[in-house]
């Protein structure tokens, strides 16, 4: 499972790439693999104020509809319209063209509580082991 | 299949149309002609297909031969109770006295129909151990909506109109949170514990301090994990001690018929799916019926109309005194009610008890036969359905979807998959009570054969189905770029 070392991760299987007070958010390779073929994205509109751990949208796959939770608080600056138009991009390039939103952080200190690539690797390894014991 | 395996799904009657071909001649009018509406309102050419009767009969008969139904094969679609519907119910529903009633005819001319509805209300009240029943809701989720609107009306009448929260375990049917949200409540999910039961501590913390903001807990029993909730009495006590109501989703009632009465467990409202438990046809989207049973405290809020019997023996359609009002047209899906009543009376009390016994026995038999080949979601006795996981197979590169598609090659309808959401790679298997040991064994053999194929020839499973009229359908593209209706080449 691809877990880029330069990103931070949430326990809800989202990745964050931050630079100063701007952060790009997407879902992880593991998340897209678990969801299966993604068919629909419901993302927050530009200007929405997100609260960390609050619901920020929905992602629908052929299996199920799942809530998306904001890994960080902040204001939505950009939404990836190309991914909304072609949701398979999220399956194909979860860390690249399949990004979801870009936000301006309200509290940069929240970044410190996210998981490193190593910690996220441990989390999903544990989850996969629990599922196959 | 006499040439019927061409891609009939892609052939429409429009494609078979030939100009001027007709199926039947319309008789000459025997009433005076009326002038046509003004010309701007008229279209002079409707693009309808032109076919002979024989073309139409062959087209739809061939399509019907491609259909999978309980009349043709094993159909273990978990949570849906795809059991056999005895044909005698169809005979009874077609009796002219039932079939030719008009919903607008005066009640005094339909006393037999009303007596049947009253009888069904009475039987369902007895079966559920509740005080009164409404036959109005036309589906399970409609029954949920009726129940949750009654909960709101009850709280409003008791100064609790500000109770805004509805608690729903994560092992509930998905319609439960949807119903509460549609009725305008805030939905909170309560997790399950490691054994698949409701996490009592999580329930306590959701109630502690602000329990007076909770309108109801909506509990599915048995849950979508196919498990009975052993702490149900404690849960009812906790919910009631905070003034909230306990709503029961009874879609799985075939597991408890004649054994457990929801009224004895502390439920305030409990819905039934006649089209599951009481053996009326379903699977084609309806019609269904989702009656609700309630306590005497909630009976005044039942929807309109409610069938009552006057002291002189006459049956009437009444409006309960604090009714939440009408929820649909006329008197519910009457034909479904006739079939359910016939089913109950033809089985009797012992027959209903036999149903729950066979339903639970069959599911536990499947669990026992599959437990070595597949991972059990929860290793304990189940009720009418068993939830297993395809996670071991997924680790070998074969998804649960592949296993489901491979079952089609074995002549079996796939079980419910990827639900409940709290089980990874879930397969929810409900053999139902109407299947023999031989047919349940044949299903288990197919599942075991597929588990071996995953080890030895995984591509066979990944490429399935190979023996069906069509190969694997592209469900992702169908969802991403749905084509919802046929269009002529000129775009009409």
B472 at interface of A, judged by CB pairs closer than 8 A: no
Residue A124 CA to chain centroid, in angstroms?
A: 14
Residues of A whose CB is below 8 A from B479: 37, 39-40, 60, 62
Q: How confident is the model at residue B4 (pLDDT cuts 50, 70, 90)?
A: very low
Q: Pick from B392, B394, B476: which is nearest to A37 by CB?
A: B476
Q: What is the pLDDT of residue A132?
A: 73
| B68 Cβ under 8 Å from any chain A Cβ | no
Per-residue model confidence as pLDDT tens digits over B312-356? 999 999 999 999 999 998 988 999 999 999 999 999 999 999 999
Q: Per-residue pLDDT for B434 more than 90? A: yes
Task: Give residue limits of the domains in chain A.
Answer: 8-132
CATH number of A8-132: 2.40.50.100
Which has the closest alpha carbon to B333: B373, B391, B378, B275? B275
Contact in structure between A101 and A76 (CB atoms under 8 Å): yes
CA distance B388 to chain A (A): 11
Are residues B253 and B81 in contact, defined by beta-carbon separation less than 8 angstroms? Answer: no
**A132 with B401: Cβ contact below 8 A:** no
- Say yes or no for a CB contact (<8 Å) between B395 and A128: yes
Contacts of B151 (CB under 8 A, 6+ apart): B215, B216, B245, B247, B268, B269
Task: List pLDDT tens digits, range B279-301.
Answer: 998 866 668 999 999 999 999 99
Q: Is the pLDDT of residue B413 over 50?
A: yes
Q: How high is the pLDDT of residue A6? A: 95
Nearest CA in chain B to A61: B476
User: Nearest Cα to B83, choosing from B404, B355, B416?
Assistant: B355
Which chain A positions have a beta carbon within 8 Å of B417's beta carbon? Answer: 63
Q: Could you tell me if A84 lies within 8 Å of chain B, comparing CB atoms? A: no
Task: State the best of B377, B392, B404, B479 to mutate against chain A, taking most chain A CBs within 10 Å.
Answer: B479
A59 φ/ψ angles, rounded to the nearest 5 degrees: -130, 125
Interface test with B, best of A13, A40, A62, A69 (most B CBs within 10 A): A62
pLDDT classification of B48: cutoffs 50, 70, 90: confident
pTM assigned to the model: 0.90
Mutation to test the B interface, candidates A31, A34, A37, A88, most B Cβ within 10 Å: A37
- What is residue A23's DSSP assignment? E
Pair B240, B266: CB distance under 8 Å: yes
Q: List chain B domain ranges.
A: 8-65, 89-346, 356-478
Dist CA B79 CA B432 (whole Å): 10
Contact B358, B436 (CB under 8 A): no
Predicted pLDDT at B192: 97
Which fold would CATH assign to domain B89-346?
3.40.640
Q: Which chain B residues are closer than 8 Å to A62 by Cβ?
A: 401, 475-476, 479
B391 and A88: CB-CB below 8 Å?
no
Domain B356-478: which CATH number of 3.10.20.740, 1.10.150.120, 3.10.150.10, 3.90.1150.10: 3.90.1150.10
Q: Choose among B375, B394, B480: nearest Cβ to A87.
A: B480
Arithmetic mean of pLDDT over chain B: 94
How far, in Å, CA of A53 to CA of A60, rounded?
A: 19
Measure B16 CA to nearest chain A CA, in Å: 33
For the four alpha carbons of B329, B334, B335 and B339, in that order, the dihedral sign comes to positive
Residue from the list A62, A64, A131 with its beta carbon closest to the beta carbon of B476: A62
Closest CA to B248 of B206, B289, B290: B290
User: pLDDT grade, residue B2 (50/70/90)?
Assistant: very low
pLDDT of B3 over the 90 cut: no
B401 touches chain A (CB under 8 A): yes
> What's the confidence (pLDDT) of residue B1?
39
The per-residue pLDDT for range B212-257, each reduced to its tens digit, is: 999 999 999 999 999 999 999 999 999 999 999 999 999 999 999 9
ipTM of this predicted structure: 0.83
User: pLDDT tens digits for A69-96?
Assistant: 999 999 999 999 999 999 999 999 999 9
Task: State whether A36 and B399 contact (CB < 8 Å).
Answer: yes
Residue B377 contacts A where some CB pair is shorter than 8 Å: no
Asked if B399's CB is within 8 angstroms of A131's CB, the reply is: no
Indicate yes or no: CB of A128 within 8 angstroms of CB of B425: no
Min Cα separation A49/chain B (Å): 20
Tell me the residue length of chain A: 133
> What would the pLDDT profile of B146-167 be if each residue is shown by its tens digit?
999 999 999 999 999 999 999 9
pLDDT of residue B486: 80
pLDDT given at position B65: 86
Which of B419, B424, B479 lies at the smallest CB-CB distance from A39? B479
Contact A63 B418 (CB under 8 A): yes
Which are the contacts of A1, defined by CB distance < 8 A and separation ≥ 6? A29, A30, A33, A121, A124
| Phi, psi dihedral angles at B359 (to 5 degrees) | -60, -45
Q: Computed over its alpha carbons, how large is the radius of gyration of chain B?
A: 25
pLDDT of residue B311: 96
Q: Do B424 and A60 touch (CB under 8 A)?
A: no
Q: Which of residues 6-35 of A touch B (CB under 8 A)?
A: none
Rounded to the nearest 5°, which phi and psi values hold at B62?
A: -65, -40
Cα–Cα distance for residue pair B240/B256, rounded to 1 Å = 23
The residue of chain A nearest to residue B475, with distances taken between CA atoms, is A62
Yes or no, beta carbons of B475 and A62 under 8 Å apart: yes
The reply to whether A45 touches chain B by the CB within 8 Å rule is no
The percent helix, strand, coil of chain A (3-state, each to 5) is: 30, 35, 35
> pLDDT band at B137, cuts 50/70/90?
very high
Is the Cβ of B475 closer than 8 Å to some Cβ of chain A?
A: yes
- For A60, which residue in chain B has the nearest alpha carbon? B479
Pairs of residues, one from chain A and one from chain B, whose beta carbons lie less than 8 Å apart = 36
Residues from chain B contacting residue A63 (CB–CB below 8 Å) = 417-418
Q: Measured between alpha carbons, how far is residue B421 from residues A54, B186, B227, B383 in Å?
A: 20, 20, 15, 19
> Of B331, B284, B302, whose CA–CA distance to B68 is shortest?
B284
In order along its 133 residues, chain A shows pLDDT tens digits of 899 999 999 999 999 999 999 999 999 999 999 999 999 999 999 999 999 999 999 999 998 889 999 999 999 999 999 999 999 999 999 999 999 999 999 999 999 999 999 999 999 999 888 877 6
Closest residue, chain A, to B417 (C-alpha): A63
Provide the pLDDT for residue B42.
87
Residue B192 Cα, gap to closest chain A Cα (Å): 16
Q: Residue B285 has what pLDDT?
A: 62
A39 touches chain B (CB under 8 A): yes
């Amino acid at each position: 499972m691809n877990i880029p070392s330069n990103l931070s991760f949430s326990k809800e299987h989202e990745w964050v790439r931050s630079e100063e007070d701007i952060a790009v958010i997407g879902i992880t390779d593991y998340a897209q693999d678990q969801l299966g073929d993604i068919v629909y994205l419901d993302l927050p509109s530009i200007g929405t104020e997100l609260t960390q751990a609050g619901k920020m949208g929905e992602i629908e796959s052929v299996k199920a509809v799942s809530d998306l939770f904001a890994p960080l608080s902040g204001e939505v600056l950009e939404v990836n319209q190309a991914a909304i138009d072609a949701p398979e991009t999220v399956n194909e390039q979860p860390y690249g063209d399949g990004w979801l939103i870009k936000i301006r952080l309200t509290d940069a200190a929240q970044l410190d509580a996210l998981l490193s690539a190593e910690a996220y690797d441990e989390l999903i390894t544990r989850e996969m082991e629990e599922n196959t014991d | 299949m006499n040439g019927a395996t061409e891609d009939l799904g892609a052939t429409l009657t429009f494609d078979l149309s030939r100009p001027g071909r007709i199926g039947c001649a319309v008789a000459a009018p025997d009433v005076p002609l009326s002038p046509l509406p003004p010309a701007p309102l008229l279209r002079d050419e409707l693009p309808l297909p032109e076919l002979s009767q024989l073309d139409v009969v062959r087209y739809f008969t061939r399509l019907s031969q491609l259909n999978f139904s309980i009349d043709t094969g094993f159909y273990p679609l978990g949570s849906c109770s795809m059991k056999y519907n005895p044909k005698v119910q169809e005979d009874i529903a077609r009796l002219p006295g039932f079939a030719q009633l008009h919903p607008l005819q005066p009640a005094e001319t339909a006393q037999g129909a009303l007596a049947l509805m009253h009888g069904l209300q009475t039987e369902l009240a007895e079966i559920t151990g509740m005080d009164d029943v409404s036959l109005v809701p036309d589906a399970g989720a409609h029954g949920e909506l009726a129940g949750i609107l009654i909960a709101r009306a009850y709280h409003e009448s008791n100064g609790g109109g500000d109770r805004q929260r509805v608690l729903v375990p994560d092992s509930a049917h998905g319609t439960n949170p949807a119903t509460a949200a549609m009725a305008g409540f805030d939905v909170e999910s309560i997790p399950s514990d490691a054994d698949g039961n409701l996490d009592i501590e999580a329930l306590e913390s959701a109630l502690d301090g602000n329990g007076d903001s909770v309108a109801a807990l909506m509990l599915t029993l048995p849950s979508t994990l196919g498990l009975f909730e052993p702490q149900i009495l404690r849960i009812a006590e906790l919910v009631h001690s905070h003034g909230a109501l306990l709503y029961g989703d009874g879609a799985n009632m075939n597991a408890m018929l004649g054994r457990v009465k929801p009224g004895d467990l502390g439920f305030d409202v409990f819905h039934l799916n006649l089209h599951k438990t009481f053996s009326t046809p379903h699977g084609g989207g309806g019609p269904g019926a989702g009656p609700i049973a309630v306590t005497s405290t909630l009976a005044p809020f039942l929807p309109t109309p409610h069938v009552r019997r006057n002291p002189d023996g006459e049956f009437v359609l009444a409006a309960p005194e604090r009714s939440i009002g009408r929820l649909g047209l006329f008197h519910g899906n009457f034909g479904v009610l006739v079939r359910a009543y016939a089913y109950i009376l033809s089985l009797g009390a012992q027959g209903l008890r036999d149903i729950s016994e066979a339903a639970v026995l069959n599911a536990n038999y499947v669990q026992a036969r599959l437990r070595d080949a597949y991972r059990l979601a929860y290793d304990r006795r189940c009720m009418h359905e068993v939830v297993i996981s395809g996670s071991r197979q997924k680790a070998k590169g074969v998804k649960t979807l592949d296993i489901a598609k491979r079952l089609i090659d074995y002549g079996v309808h796939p079980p419910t998959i990827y639900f409940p959401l709290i089980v990874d790679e879930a397969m929810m298997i409900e053999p139902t009570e109407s299947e023999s040991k031989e047919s349940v064994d044949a299903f288990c053999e197919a599942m075991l054969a597929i588990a071996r194929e995953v080890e030895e020839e995984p591509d066979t499973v990944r490429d399935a189905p190979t023996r069906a009229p069509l190969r694997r359908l592209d469900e992702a593209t169908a969802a991403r770029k749905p084509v919802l209706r046929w269009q002529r080449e000129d775009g009409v």
